Structure 1
Amino acid sequence: MLKKGQTSAAYLFLAPFLITIGIFFFYAFARAIYYSLTDFNLFNTPKLIGIKPYTDVLADPLFQRALANSLVFAVITTTLQTVGALLMAVALNNKIRGMAFFRSAWYMPSITSSVVITLIFLWLFQRRGVANYAITQWQAYLPYTLTLIGVLIAAQVVQVLWERSRGLPAGWFDPALAVISLLIALAVTAILSWTGVLSVRDVAPYDFQYFSDRWISLGGVQILSIPMLVIIIQNTFTTIPTLMLFFLAGLQNIPGTLYEAADIDGATPAQKLMNVTVPMLRPVTFYVITVGLIGTMKMFDQVAVIGSAAPQSTLITLAYYVYTNTFKAGAAPVNMAAAAAIVLAAIILVMVFLQRRFISSDAV
């Protein structure tokens, strides 16, 4: 137990943190709740009007679209980044030469400015960007690709059948035979190209507008816009390395005897992953999913950077809805922005509570 003098010293050291959180969290949150019950528009004296701002927000079609976009984005991105981070951590947990370099290289996207990454992706997915250029080249060189894959598969099948006919235990994915099959496929493709049997196709440039009002629909309901799909790809690419570190730390705490027992039982790598790794990483997985859901529900910067490059309804999220209603030109409906912010906070709390209720954070 701390003595009186020690307690005063502890509060003194905690004072900067307590003051900061008191002003920028508790006071700000209380003020947001107050504004959400008034008619405040930045220029008038707030007057209490009850829950009308909440009813106005819930009836706003733009808020409904922002809510749908945020939920779809959160579910898809959190799922992709959690699975990707786990698989990357498993791959980088091996003790091989040069692994420190690969770990550092994989982590680079996470320490790069999100604004810079967004601008790069905005450039990649322009009508004449790298994405459309790559698809155009793929279509032009499709005969080469199909020939290479076809000869590779045929050579592998012939080699495996030949080895098995000799009584040797050859597998369909035997790496040694795969190397020989690849060399054969490359040689056949090169000969066919040199003799003129294969040639590059003359195709028109692929012209797809990624930042347009295009949607993936289900039963006539717009589920996911193509611009939002681009942001999902970007966000997954930049957040997987950070979440990978948590899984990597968890992997290094799993007793090696569990994997040795699985090896004795003849478990495959996939079986060890599902029956040993995943259950033992349950506390880390709980934390990663929680952080992922909170972060994706508050996603703002990518939408703000893209701005008018895409239609507003395709990209707007709850955080961006709050921002646009707060800083509109003229008398901004701050009360609606505050109400939307409280709704966003409530949704995040409910999501975390449900996850805590139905997903155990204890390792088996």
Structure 2
Amino acid sequence: MKKNLQGYFFLMPALVVMSIFIVVPIGYAFFLMFFQVDLLSGTRTFVGLDNFVKIWNDPKFWAAFQNTTKYVAVVVPIQTILALMLATLLNSKIKFNRAFLTIMFIPTLTSSSAMTLIFMWLFNNNGLVVNALSSVGIEVQFLTNPNLALTVIMVMNIFSTIPHFMIVFLSGLQDIPGSIYEAASIDGANRIKQFTNVTVPQLMPVTFYVLIMGIVGCFQIFDQAFILSDGTGGPQNSTLTFTLYIYQLAFSSNDMGRATALAFVLGLIIFVVTFFVNNILKPDEVNG
């Protein structure tokens, strides 16, 4: 008992901080989602499940759901595959791999706000990309086109997140024992079969981590969409995401109750998706 009390004593500072900044806000948000809350006057009225009914009947919710789902479905697979390919290339001992690794890691060191401004400069109506395409006879607008505005954010996110996941995959590749590849080679497996039958299964826990972090990050995207659309989610709600819509409900519409209800819905969606990914990949059963 004395040793346990000593352990809890040393954990107490971290537990206090977590309680104040994580547990209490989550509990209070769970409480607020059943109320209509006016932040300015500080009043709240119990409405039960009415906030969820309003969300279900709100066209902007379905626009945010469609945009975020599309974003996750496109960005997560592409960034995972490209990161794995680049990590495999670096692990093959190519020349100048350290310089290549340093250059590739620069986007990760750049803040997302600065990266968004760079891409806005590249893809605005007078930007470098638009002018380059116009010079070859291709007239296209990106940031003002509802069909392409979200694509710009996708490209930006893929470009900025690949280096981090590439390092994670590279670490996993270097932890795979060389004896496994030697055994596979003796059994007649070529490079392709070694990759599919040895590398991919051995990397499953790492792949699970990359997928989960990518899914959670994509579902929680906010700053890029906010800066790109000036907080409106435009054009025509084409860049409206869950978190941006939560921000609009809480601080533009002064409806904190509906904002917390939508945050709960988002958390539930992330939990369900990660649960299915965990059951499909089964990373804890690798080599078990």
- Selected match of 1:61 from 55, 59, 62: 59
Residue 95 of structure 1 aligns with which residue?
93
Instruction: Tell me the CA shift for residue 136 of structure 1.
Output: 4.2
Amino acid at match of 2:132: A
- Selected match of 1:112 from 107, 110, 126: 110
CA–CA distance in structure 2, aligned partners of residues 268 and 135 of structure 1: 43
- Selected match of 2:141 from 186, 189, 209: 209
When normalised by structure 1's length, the TM-score is 0.73
Cα separation, partners in 2 of 1:130 and 1:56, compared to 1, 3 Å:
same
**How is 1:170-189 mapped onto 2 (pairs within 5 angstroms)?**
none
Q: Are 2:253 and 1:321 aligned?
A: no
CA–CA distance in structure 1, aligned partners of residues 245 and 13 of structure 2: 32
Indicate the RMSD between aligned Cα atoms, in angstroms. Answer: 1.9
Cα separation, partners in 2 of 1:360 and 1:336, compared to 1, 3 Å:
same
Q: Are 2:162 and 1:240 aligned?
A: yes
CA–CA distance in structure 1, aligned partners of residues 228 and 91 of structure 2: 36
Q: Are 2:31 and 1:34 aligned?
A: yes
For 1:301-320, what per-residue CA distance to the aligned partner results, in whole angstroms no more than 9, with x for missing partners? Answer: 10111123841501011011
CA–CA distance in structure 2, aligned partners of residues 134 and 260 of structure 1: 49
Tell whether the 8 Å contact from 2:134 to 2:140 is kept in structure 1 after alignment. Answer: no
CA–CA distance in structure 2, aligned partners of residues 53 and 40 of structure 1: 11
Instruction: Tell me the CA shift for residue 298 of structure 1.
Output: 0.5
When normalised by structure 2's length, the TM-score is 0.91
- Selected match of 2:10 from 8, 13, 16: 13
Tell whether the 8 Å contact from 1:39 to 1:335 is kept in structure 2 after alignment. Answer: yes
CA–CA distance in structure 1, aligned partners of residues 81 and 247 of structure 2: 31
CA–CA distance in structure 1, aligned partners of residues 13 and 106 of structure 2: 32
Larger radius of gyration: 1
Instruction: Tell me the CA shift for residue 44 of structure 1.
Output: 4.1
Q: Are 2:50 and 1:52 aligned?
A: yes
Instruction: Tell me the CA shift for residue 34 of structure 1.
Output: 1.2
The runs of 4+ residues in structure 1 deviating greater than 6 Å are none
Specify the SS of the correspondent of 1:46.
strand
Residue 119 of structure 2 aligns with which residue?
121
CA–CA distance in structure 1, aligned partners of residues 24 and 189 of structure 2: 55
Tell whether the 8 Å contact from 1:82 to 1:243 is kept in structure 2 after alignment. Answer: yes
CA–CA distance in structure 2, aligned partners of residues 241 and 12 of structure 1: 39
CA–CA distance in structure 2, aligned partners of residues 20 and 304 of structure 1: 29
**How is 1:215-234 mapped onto 2 (pairs within 5 angstroms)?**
215=147, 226-234=148-156
Tell whether the 8 Å contact from 1:250 to 1:281 is kept in structure 2 after alignment. Answer: yes
Residue 82 of structure 2 aligns with which residue?
84
Amino acid at match of 2:72: A
CA–CA distance in structure 1, aligned partners of residues 235 and 188 of structure 2: 54
For 1:310-361, what per-residue CA distance to the aligned partner results, in whole angstroms no more than 9, with x for missing partners? Answer: 41501011011111111116xx111111110010011111111111122211
- Selected match of 1:340 from 256, 262, 265: 262
Cα separation, partners in 2 of 1:334 and 1:363, compared to 1, 3 Å:
same
Tell whether the 8 Å contact from 1:281 to 1:363 is kept in structure 2 after alignment. Answer: no
Specify the SS of the correspondent of 1:290.
helix
Specify the SS of the correspondent of 1:327.
helix
Give percent identity, aligned residues only. 34
The number of equivalent residue pairs is 283
Residue 269 of structure 1 aligns with which residue?
191
Specify the SS of the correspondent of 1:47.
strand
CA–CA distance in structure 2, aligned partners of residues 269 and 131 of structure 1: 39
CA–CA distance in structure 1, aligned partners of residues 145 and 13 of structure 2: 47
Specify the SS of the correspondent of 2:286.
coil
Instruction: Tell me the CA shift for residue 31 of structure 1.
Output: 1.0
CA–CA distance in structure 1, aligned partners of residues 124 and 85 of structure 2: 31
